[in-house]
Structure 1
Amino acid sequence: PLTFQALTHRPVALEMFSLWQETEIGHVTLGKRADLMIIAPATANTLAKLAHGLADNLLTTTALACRGPILLAPAMESGMWAHPATGDNMEILRRRGCFCTGPESGRLASGAEGVGRMTEPETILDAARWVLGRTGALAGERVVVTAGGTREAIDPVRFIGNHSSGKMGYALAFAARDRGAEVTLVHGPTALAVPYGVREVAVESADEMQAAVLDAAAGAAAVIMAAAVADYRPRSAAEHKIKKSRDEMALDLVRTPDILAAIAARRSQTGLPRAVIGFAAETRNVLENARGKLTRKGLDLIVANDVLAADSGFAVDTNRVILIDVGGGAEHLPLLSKTAVADAVTDRLVTLLRRL
């Protein structure tokens, strides 16, 4: 406790009544102050006490006094987690409004392998962001975000792809999720972790992405197309690996589906999604090309950037973008983290949805 207090510069409460430190009742004060209570690890014993309203230590009394949401991160041996009593206790706590993350599979305290390992701290913190954001500016809205590049098969080994890492799209999914939206993330192959509470649809090709986006967008309030979708694909993929038998090889390429055009066609018929935001990754004439795409695709907002810039291209954590709207306005953002860019774009989405 002393080490934790020294590192965080925050007091660590250990006893239910600390008469020499407080005139207030400690557990009541802690419960009232909390926007969120995280119990990690939540043992089988603690879950049982919480489910049955027992208050015999600082943790359980604070939980009873807490008026904010409670996030549980269970951790115990596999047999204890699988026991019917633990299952019943978890069901009671969920019905009362508690949230739960985990447990995961892995090596347990006993040395055995199985389900019961506490969720990693990074995931617990991400779950906390999700819980706290549920009443945000996009609460009740469904938002579809696309991320990453697509792969168009040449043969079972090779494909046509691009340099997209998916970082910008994932940051947008986080930002919309943190504002309370019900987010579906449709992504190509990436090495990134999906935000907690976000529905994930993994795809490979442009055809697969179009099908997934149109399915997810049915009834959605907004679509943010941040994915780098291939413009062309081989007319047909070879069944077996193409051997290096000659000096040159020609590929017969055809256009991939225009996902934004398909969304626009549906929107003209149903009025949904209410807002569509696109991205323009350009190498020259950035503003002119982005404005042309905004008009052609019927977008409400387009986010343009020069991907040749070393600090705002692919596979980096920063971006320098221009936000262009249908009224002709162009907001030039300075070099920012992709998280900050996502926040700016999502704030514009909030404004759009309130106006539309």
Structure 2
Amino acid sequence: MSSKRILLIIGGGIAAYKSLELIRMLAKRGISSRCILTAGGANFVTPLSVSALSGDKCYSNLFSLDDEAEMGHIELSRSADLLVICPATADLLAKAANGHANDLASTTLLATDKPVLMVPAMNVRMWEHAATKRNVETLRGDGVDVMEPGTGAMACGEFGPGRLPEVEAIADEIESALARQSGPKPLEGRHVLLTAGPTREPLDPVRYLSNHSSGRQGYAIAGALAELGAQVTLVSGPVSIASPRGVDLVSVETAREMMAACEAALPADVFVSVAAVADWRPSSPADRKLKLKDEGKGPPALSLSENPDILSTISRLEKGRPQLVVGFAAETDTVEENALRKRARKGCDWIVANDVSGDVMGGADNEIALVTDAGVENWPRMGKTAVARRLAERIAEDLNGKGKPRIAAE
């Protein structure tokens, strides 16, 4: 990504201040930004702050004598690999959808021959208005990527969809869009089956056994593999995050449902078992809500049955075993030792081990040890997206014979 550049159009909304954070985050990922600041955006951030963070001139005037002497809006529209509008206000969406060109931002959008990513942010009523829905539909029909806004409390005091997505999610989407422009895909023609998220094992109609897995690491890996050209089947337990672009999502709840979905998705070239699958389930879930505090009675007895071992089952297939099977080990102590034992016990090729005693489950970062037949590689703490891309690249190298020779665990 070190040679990639975006043209960032900063619209006039309270979320404009987050564009500064986006510029900084993209720079850390090796992506440079050239910026257009709209008149509305200038009410929230200054040209000086934009210029200082981007390391480039901040553009704003369509009729600048200096810039337009060289047809500046044309040059700007084609000087980057991707145009990003963040925040994309209802006004900017309307202008772009209807071909208006009365300022530098809208003229540049009309003149570009590069991919465009819109990141909406506006009041919930504006986002849900019929006119905005028509404009978004038109833009998507024209090939423009329009992210879904976040949901939550807004500066105006209302609650609902319309918030700017998290900056990290925007940066991830930009990286994905840039990656789609790259040349040959090393995983083109490969099928990857991946599990993610927790499972839920019902106790009764309102309670279940589960864990704190957010699914973020598994979803990031699925997205990274898709970016490299793989056909990805993502079998996911219940999570609250969006499915990555270009991934076939199969939603399940229980371990047995996940096992069945994995078996139905085979054959695959690679199986990546990221999901935090419950080892046990209640033997006889109640069909009515259990009364846990009946007078004169102690707590109800809980009888458990063992769930299918998905990783071990697929690792030991006699026919149709994936070429590469990767398991995950979430540990709270003696991480490497436990991971080595798990690799041998499950029969998989690699184990990705991490210490979840801190803020890893549900957090944005991860620190892993990759266990293979060659030994243990300790990766530094990094964002889960960075972990995902690094692991996806290693998988591609292995499948294409560029990695070290592999001996399956016994």
The gaps in structure 2 that reach 5 residues or longer are 1-36, 121-125, 403-410
* Contact 2:187–2:396 (8 Å) recurs in 1: no
Q: CA deviation at 1:249?
A: 4.0
Q: CA deviation at 1:36?
A: 0.5
Q: Which residue of 2 aligns with 1:48?
A: 98
Matched to 2:303, the amino acid is D
1:302 is aligned, of 343, 346, 351, to: 351
Give the number of equivalent residue pairs: 338
Q: CA deviation at 1:274?
A: 3.5
Tell me the SS of whatever aligns to 2:114. coil
Q: Which residue of 1 aligns with 2:283?
A: 235
* Contact 2:267–2:320 (8 Å) recurs in 1: no
What CA RMSD, in Å, does the superposition of the two structures yield over aligned residues? 4.0
Give yes or no for the alignment of 1:322 onto 2:369: yes
Q: In the superposition, relative to structure 1, how do residues 43 and 91 fare at CA in structure 2: closer, same or farther (>3 Å)?
A: closer
- How many angstroms apart in 1 are the aligned matches of 2:282 and 2:63? 72
- How many angstroms apart in 2 are the aligned matches of 1:92 and 1:146? 32
Tell me the SS of whatever aligns to 2:354. strand
The gaps in structure 1 that reach 5 residues or longer are none
* Contact 1:173–1:183 (8 Å) recurs in 2: yes
* Contact 2:236–2:251 (8 Å) recurs in 1: yes
* Contact 1:148–1:166 (8 Å) recurs in 2: yes
* Contact 1:184–1:201 (8 Å) recurs in 2: yes
- How many angstroms apart in 2 are the aligned matches of 1:218 and 1:147? 16
Q: Which residue of 1 aligns with 2:262?
A: 213
Q: CA deviation at 1:88?
A: 8.9
Q: Which residue of 2 aligns with 1:5?
A: 47
Q: Which residue of 1 aligns with 2:15?
A: none
TM-score of the pair, normalised by structure 1? 0.75
- How many angstroms apart in 1 are the aligned matches of 2:181 and 2:230? 9
Tell me the SS of whatever aligns to 1:291. helix
* Contact 1:264–1:297 (8 Å) recurs in 2: yes
Give yes or no for the alignment of 1:34 onto 2:85: no
Tell me the SS of whatever aligns to 1:277. strand
Give yes or no for the alignment of 1:269 onto 2:319: yes
Q: CA deviation at 1:324?
A: 1.0
TM-score of the pair, normalised by structure 2? 0.66
Identity of aligned residues (%): 38
Q: Which residue of 2 aligns with 1:259?
A: 310
Aligned ranges 1:1-356 → 2 under 5 Å: 1=37, 2=42, 3-9=45-51, 10-21=56-67, 24-39=70-85, 40-41=88-89, 42-49=92-99, 58-59=104-105, 61-63=107-109, 65-72=111-118, 78-81=129-132, 89-90=138-139, 93-94=142-143, 98-102=144-148, 120=165, 122=167, 125-135=171-181, 137=185, 140=188, 141-177=190-226, 179=228, 181-195=230-244, 198-215=247-264, 217-218=265-266, 220-243=268-291, 244-245=293-294, 246-247=297-298, 249-264=300-315, 268-270=318-320, 273-283=322-332, 286-307=335-356, 310-311=357-358, 314-325=361-372, 327-355=373-401
Moved more, 335-344 or 35-44: 335-344
Q: In the superposition, relative to structure 1, how do residues 278 and 66 fare at CA in structure 2: closer, same or farther (>3 Å)?
A: same
- How many angstroms apart in 1 are the aligned matches of 2:203 and 2:140? 50
1:309-331: CA deviation from partner (whole Å, max 9, x where unpaired): x4476445444432111x33211
Matched to 2:320, the amino acid is T
- How many angstroms apart in 1 are the aligned matches of 2:128 and 2:279? 51
Q: In the superposition, relative to structure 1, how do residues 339 and 105 fare at CA in structure 2: closer, same or farther (>3 Å)?
A: closer
Tell me the SS of whatever aligns to 1:145. strand
Tell me the SS of whatever aligns to 2:400. helix
Matched to 1:131, the amino acid is A
- How many angstroms apart in 2 are the aligned matches of 1:293 and 1:313? 20
- How many angstroms apart in 1 are the aligned matches of 2:366 and 2:199? 21
- How many angstroms apart in 1 are the aligned matches of 2:128 and 2:303? 57
Q: In the superposition, relative to structure 1, how do residues 72 and 197 fare at CA in structure 2: closer, same or farther (>3 Å)?
A: farther
Q: CA deviation at 1:69?
A: 1.4
- How many angstroms apart in 2 are the aligned matches of 1:300 and 1:121? 35
* Contact 1:129–1:178 (8 Å) recurs in 2: no
* Contact 2:95–2:106 (8 Å) recurs in 1: no
1:312-354: CA deviation from partner (whole Å, max 9, x where unpaired): 76445444432111x3321123444444433432332222222
Q: In the superposition, relative to structure 1, how do residues 81 and 221 fare at CA in structure 2: closer, same or farther (>3 Å)?
A: farther
* Contact 1:135–1:179 (8 Å) recurs in 2: no
- How many angstroms apart in 2 are the aligned matches of 1:157 and 1:102? 30
Q: In the superposition, relative to structure 1, how do residues 90 and 189 fare at CA in structure 2: closer, same or farther (>3 Å)?
A: closer
Tell me the SS of whatever aligns to 2:204. coil
Moved more, 70-79 or 27-36: 70-79
- How many angstroms apart in 2 are the aligned matches of 1:77 and 1:148? 30
